[in-house]
Amino acid sequence: MERLKGLTTIIMAGGKGERLYPLTRDKAKPVITFGGIYKIIDFTLSNCLNSGIRRIYVLTQYGSFSLDQHLRLAWDLMRPDLGEYIYSMPPQQIMVNRWYRGTADSIFQNLSLLQAERPRQVLILSGDHVYKMKYLEMLDFHLSRDADLTVAAVMVPRKEAGAFGILHVDGESRIVNFLEKPADPPGIPGNPDHSLASMGVYLFKAEVLVEEVIRDAKNVESKHDFGANIIPQMVGKKRVFAYNFHNPATGMPRYWRDIGILDAYFQAHRDLLGAEPVFDLYDREWPIRARPSLYPPSKYLYSGQSIIVEDCLIAAGCAVEGTVRESVLSPGVRIGQGARVDAAVLWDNVHIGAGAQVQRAIIEDGVKVPKGFTIGLDPEADARRFPVTEGGIVVVPNNVILEE
Q: Which residues bind another protein (CB under 8 A)?
A: 95-98, 108, 111-112, 114-115, 210-211, 214, 217-220
**Closer to another protein by Cβ: residue 210 or 261:** 210
Closest CA to 117 of 203, 8, 212: 8
Instruction: List, as one string, the DSSP characters of 373-384.
Output: -EESS-HHHHHH
Q: How far is the CB of 121 from another protein (least distance, A)?
A: 15
**Closer to another protein by Cβ: residue 23 or 89:** 89
Residue type, 370: P
Contact 233, 2 (CB under 8 A): no
Q: How far is the CB of 224 from another protein (least distance, A)?
A: 10
Q: How far is the CB of 118 from another protein (least distance, A)?
A: 8
Measured CA to CA, the distance from residue 259 to residue 128 in angstroms comes to 6
**Closer to another protein by Cβ: residue 94 or 401:** 94
For 298-382, strand residue ranges (E) read 299-300, 308-310, 313-314, 319-320, 323-325, 328-329, 334-335, 340-346, 351-352, 357-363, 368-369, 374-375
Q: How far is the CB of 112 from another protein (least distance, A)?
A: 7
Q: How far is the CB of 11 from another protein (least distance, A)?
A: 20
Q: How far is the CB of 210 from another protein (least distance, A)?
A: 5
Q: How far is the CB of 148 from another protein (least distance, A)?
A: 15
Helix-strand-coil split of the chain, %, nearest 5: 25, 30, 45
**Closer to another protein by Cβ: residue 108 or 141:** 108
What does the angle CA 337 – CA 269 – CA 298 come to, to the nearest 5 degrees?
Answer: 40
Q: How far is the CB of 6 from another protein (least distance, A)?
A: 15
For 127-180, strand residue ranges (E) read 129-131, 149-157, 165-169, 175-180
Closest CA to 147 of 75, 226, 77, 205: 205
Q: How far is the CB of 95 from another protein (least distance, A)?
A: 5
**Closer to another protein by Cβ: residue 12 or 213:** 213
**Closer to another protein by Cβ: residue 120 or 270:** 120
**Closer to another protein by Cβ: residue 70 or 205:** 205
**Closer to another protein by Cβ: residue 210 or 319:** 210
Under DSSP, the state recorded for 46 is: H
Alpha carbon distances (Å) from 246 to 151, 152, 309, 403: 14, 10, 34, 49
Measured CA to CA, the distance from residue 213 to residue 1 in angstroms comes to 28
- Any residues with CB less than 8 A from the CB of 268 and at least 6 apart, and which? 34, 130, 257, 259, 279
Measured CA to CA, the distance from residue 190 to residue 97 in angstroms comes to 49
**Closer to another protein by Cβ: residue 112 or 293:** 112
- Any residues with CB less than 8 A from the CB of 260 and at least 6 apart, and which? 19, 20, 128
